Every structure is written in C-alpha cells, then in structure tokens.
Amino acid sequence: MLSVLRNRPYRQLFTAQVIALAGTGLATVALALLAYDIAGPAAGSVLGTALAIKMVAYVAIAPVVGAVADRIPRRALMAGADLTRAGVALFLPFVTQVWQVYVLVFLLQAASAAFTPTFQAVIPDVLPKERDYTQALSMSRLAYDLESLFSPALAAVLLSVITYNWLFLGTMLGFAASAVLVVSAVLPAARPATEAPGGRRLYAKATEGSRLFFRKPELRSLLAMDVAVAAAGALVTVNSIVYVRDFLGLSADTLALALGAYGGGSMSVALVLPRVLERRSDRAVMLGGVLLLPVAFLVAGVITAAPDGSWRWPALLATWALFGAAGSMVLTPAGRLIRRAAPDKERTAAFAAQFSLSHSAWLLTYPLAGWVGASAGLRSAVIVLGGIALGAALLAVHLWPAPAAAETPIRGHVHEHEHFALRPGHPHLAGARRTKNAWRHSHHHFADELHAVHG
C-alpha cells in the first residue's frame, strides 16, 4: 500500500493531511482544557455546544464551497483554508469568554469544511488509476485513525513539560506546514468554470452534489450507510466515558484503551481493504460492513444488560473494535463510489455533498446519544441508536439493489472488445491495453451503458 507514496504530489498532499490532523488532535485536547478553565464544571456543556457548532459549519459551508470551488485554484483554496485555521489557532490562547470559543470554533470548522472536500476531490485527479486511488483511500482512513490515537498521546507528553496554551501553537504550526506542502504540490489542471456563480446559478451549484446523491441509487444507499455509521460512532464517542467510569467502574486512563480499540478495528480493515476490493465489489464490502453494525449493537446490548462480570471489559473492547471495523468497511470505499458516480466537473460538488450530508447524520446522533444516555441510561441509548443503525442498514440494502441480470457478467462468455470514448484512467479501463485509437481488454459480457455496443 505504501507504493502509492512514490507519487510526489500525492505524497505531499498526504503529508499535509497527516500534519494537519495531528494539529487538529492537539487543538481538541487543548480546547477541552480551555473550556474547563473558562466554564469549570459546565465545561461539558461548552464542548457539546462547540461540537454542535462544528457540525453546523460542516453542513452549511461545504455545499457553498462545492459551488465555487471550480472558480478558485485548488491549491489556493486548500492553502487559504489551512492559513485560516492557523490564524484561528493563534487566537485561541487569548480567549476569555465562552462566546469567543464558539465564534473561533465556527471559523476553524468552516475552514475545514472548505479544505476537506476539495482535498478529497483532488486525489482522484492525482491518482487516476483505480488501484492507486483505492490505496490512497485506505491511507486516508489510517491517517484519521492514527490521529485519534497519536494526538492524545502526544498531547499528554507535551503537557508534562508545557501548559496547554502552547498546544495551540503546535496546531498553528501544523496548519502552516500543511499550507506549505499544498502550495508546493504540482496538481493536474482542473476543469475551468464556464458560467458566473451568481444568483440562482450559485444556488443550483450549491445543491448540485446533493441532487446527484438523490439521483443515483448507490449514493442514496451511501447516505443511509452514513446514518448507520454515525449511530455507532456516536455511541462510542459520547458514551465510552460513561461505560468506563460508571458502568465498569474503571479508572479514567482506560478511556484511551476503549477509544483505541475502536480506532484499531478501523485501521485493521483499512490495511486489508485494497486487496479485498480487488476480489470483491464495493457493494458487497460496504453493505457487509453496514449490516455488521446492528450485530455489534446487539452485542453491546448484551454487555450493557449484564449486571456484573469481569468478562464485560474485554467484551466491550472487542465490540468497540467491531464497530470500528464495520465503519471502515463502509467509509473507506466511499470515495470510489463517488468517483465513479460523479462526472469530472461535478466531482468537487459531490464530495462536498457527501461531507455535508454525512455530518448531518452526526449532528443528529451526537446529541441523541448524549441525551438518551443521560436521561434514560446506557441500555436505552444502545436500543435507540441500534434501532437507527438497523433501519438505516436495511434501507441501504434496499436502495442499492444487486445488479440486474442484464448487467451481471455471464459466466463462460468472455468478450474481447475496445472502448473508444472512455478517458485514460477511467476505473473500467484497469488492466486495458492501449491500441491506436482505443483501449482494448476482455471480461465477462456486460449489457450496461459502457457496453451497449462492443467495437
């Protein structure tokens, strides 16, 4: 999988992503300590509101960025977002009021909502081959999981020698380094914009990606899968501390083990998925993952209902790892799905729509997990979130039907044929050889839009 790092532009962009994620992790720890200094026992309420503001920024800003992204040089857009985040991090140590935290968090996350979908849309252009792009998706998943494990540990080490305010300096330096790497990367030219982004045209562009999602069956299914993943992630993120301290009566430092099990399950799947996806379809892997989530909720329910037993702690770690693994089965191949479904000119809008719509699910499940868990107990939280995951998983299966017989390869009937109109790097051309005027390859016969006529 590391072979994809031989591509210099991708290596620079991936390094920028890793450094920025490390900075974000430091800011998360520092922000929690800052909230406690300002609000004391009400720090949890402050952080909960800040998390909701983060999701609102993601949902509201990403579609607008998708509408104007093709009119702004992509390097300038990503570097500008990085520098905005660096500037916000520089102001955070001087905050003295809760409202200032909220304003700066919104600005920080609005810049992230501009950076992330643009970054995701650039990678398919940098790595046009399907195999390389699949490896890049796994690398990205690993980067997010490592951030959740590495940044808190790094913060703990740094806090032994410095105060938390200095962590914001590390965040600022991380975003600044990311901007330098982005500017230095040589990116393929983007498709130029053809119309001015005014009035109704801006609205149409802002909703273009969402409309694409609701037109394509597989993308509608992806939205349902996002809801199921958000339900599982909310249980882990919001209620792990309650499981560790109140339910199991363990020390606070075991929280890192619980969250680490979740990240470890996700990483283990991300490492093997490139090979799996060479033999299995995206549909089989993703729907398999989303159907595993209700199973994990069932196990979590058994653990939660058990009155006692030393087995509950290792069982909880295994269940959290299963949640992470199933979520990774859904999220890692999602970029391949969007890449195939979205025309080149709509790709940034499509990734922006995925970013916005998926975080809408988190905006629902985060407060739901906290409110139900606090008011009705962990068992009720598992039942409610598990019910959402089950319903969303079944809906995802329904929305993404198996290929029709006409679209399914007929065993034993292999046709050698040529494609004249497909662009170089199209996912269907993996393994094809170039002829004078076309791409030639052979596979079982399909009767779909790519194979209406064999030449």
Lowest-pLDDT range, 78-92, 123-137, 276-290?
123-137
State the average pLDDT over residues 164-186: 89
| Dihedral Cα 63, 67, 68, 73, nearest 10 deg | 90
Assess whether pLDDT exceeds 50 at residue 256: yes
State the average pLDDT over residues 129-152: 78
How sure is the predictor about 250, in pLDDT bands with cuts at 50, 70 and 90?
confident
Contact 330, 288 (CB under 8 A): no
State the average pLDDT over residues 372-389: 92
* Whole-angstrom distance, CA of residue 222 vs CA of residue 229: 10
Burial 114-134 (b: 16+ CB within 10 A, else e): bbbbbbbbbbbbbbbbbbbbb
How sure is the predictor about 368, in pLDDT bands with cuts at 50, 70 and 90?
confident
Concatenated DSSP letters of 256-279: HHHHHHHHHHHHHHHHHHHHHHHH
* Whole-angstrom distance, CA of residue 9 vs CA of residue 37: 42
Q: Hey, what domains does the chain have and what are their CATH numbers?
A: 1-189+197-206 (1.20.1250.20), 208-401 (1.20.1250.20), 413-455 (no CATH)
Contact 354, 210 (CB under 8 A): no
Q: How does strand 414-419 pair with strand 433-434?
A: unpaired
User: For residue 75, which phi and psi values (nearest 5 degrees)?
Assistant: -65, -40
Span 54-105, pLDDT tens digits: 888 888 887 777 666 667 788 888 999 999 999 999 998 888 888 888 898 8
> Percent of the chain, pLDDT > 90?
24
Please state, in angstroms and as integers, the Cα–Cα distance from residue 333 to each residue in 29, 86, 283, 448, following that order: 30, 31, 9, 22
What is the predicted pLDDT for the residue at 293?
97
The Cα angle at residue 274 between residues 227 and 286, in degrees rounded to 5: 25
Angle between helices 282-305 and 378-399 in degrees, nearest 10: 160
State the average pLDDT over residues 260-281: 88
Q: How does strand 439-444 pair with strand 433-434?
A: antiparallel
| Dihedral Cα 375, 380, 382, 383, nearest 10 deg | -140
Tokens, residue 409:
């390869």
**The one-letter amino acid at 318:** A
Tell me the pTM. Answer: 0.75
H/E element, 416: strand 414-419
Residue in 228, 363, 246, 358 with CA at minimum distance from that of residue 296 = 228
What is the predicted pLDDT for the residue at 453?
43
More confident residue, 291 or 340: 291
* Whole-angstrom distance, CA of residue 64 vs CA of residue 424: 30
User: For residue 244, which phi and psi values (nearest 5 degrees)?
Assistant: -70, -50
Rg (CA), the chain: 23
What is the predicted pLDDT for the residue at 446?
45
Contact 38, 105 (CB under 8 A): no
How sure is the predictor about 310, in pLDDT bands with cuts at 50, 70 and 90?
confident
Mean pLDDT score of the chain = 80
What is the predicted pLDDT for the residue at 143?
81
State the average pLDDT over residues 233-249: 86
Assess whether pLDDT exceeds 50 at residue 309: yes
State the average pLDDT over residues 232-253: 84
Matching residue, tokens 């030393």? 310
> From its phi and psi, is residue 328 left (phi > 0), alpha (psi between -120 and 50) or beta?
alpha
What is the predicted pLDDT for the residue at 304?
95
Assess whether pLDDT exceeds 80 at residue 234: yes
What is the predicted pLDDT for the residue at 405?
39
The SS3 assignment for 440 reads: strand
What is the predicted pLDDT for the residue at 305?
94
State the average pLDDT over residues 47-59: 78
Assess whether pLDDT exceeds 50 at residue 413: no
What number of helices (H) and strands (E) belong to the chain? 15, 3
More confident residue, 148 or 447: 148
State the average pLDDT over residues 166-178: 90
How sure is the predictor about 203, in pLDDT bands with cuts at 50, 70 and 90?
low
* Whole-angstrom distance, CA of residue 437 vs CA of residue 399: 38
Q: Which are the contacts of 249, defined by CB distance < 8 A and separation ≥ 6? A: none
Assess whether pLDDT exceeds 50 at residue 455: no
* Whole-angstrom distance, CA of residue 255 vs CA of residue 245: 8
Residue in 121, 72, 92 with CA at minimum distance from that of residue 31 = 92
How sure is the predictor about 410, in pLDDT bands with cuts at 50, 70 and 90?
very low
What is the predicted pLDDT for the residue at 163?
83
State the average pLDDT over residues 441-451: 51
Assess whether pLDDT exceeds 50 at residue 380: yes
What is the predicted pLDDT for the residue at 239?
85
What is the predicted pLDDT for the residue at 445?
44
Please state, in angstroms and as integers, the Cα–Cα distance from residue 325 to each residue in 152, 161, 264, 335, 361, following that order: 21, 36, 8, 17, 19
**The one-letter amino acid at 242:** V
Assess whether pLDDT exceeds 50 at residue 227: yes
More confident residue, 30 or 207: 30
Lowest-pLDDT range, 134-138, 170-174, 188-192?
188-192
Q: What SS3 string covers 204-251? A: HHHCHHHHHHHHCHHHHHHHHHHHHHHHHHHHHHHHHHHHHHHHCCCC
More confident residue, 394 or 167: 394
Assess whether pLDDT exceeds 80 at residue 321: yes
Assess whether pLDDT exceeds 60 at residue 196: no
How sure is the predictor about 447, in pLDDT bands with cuts at 50, 70 and 90?
very low
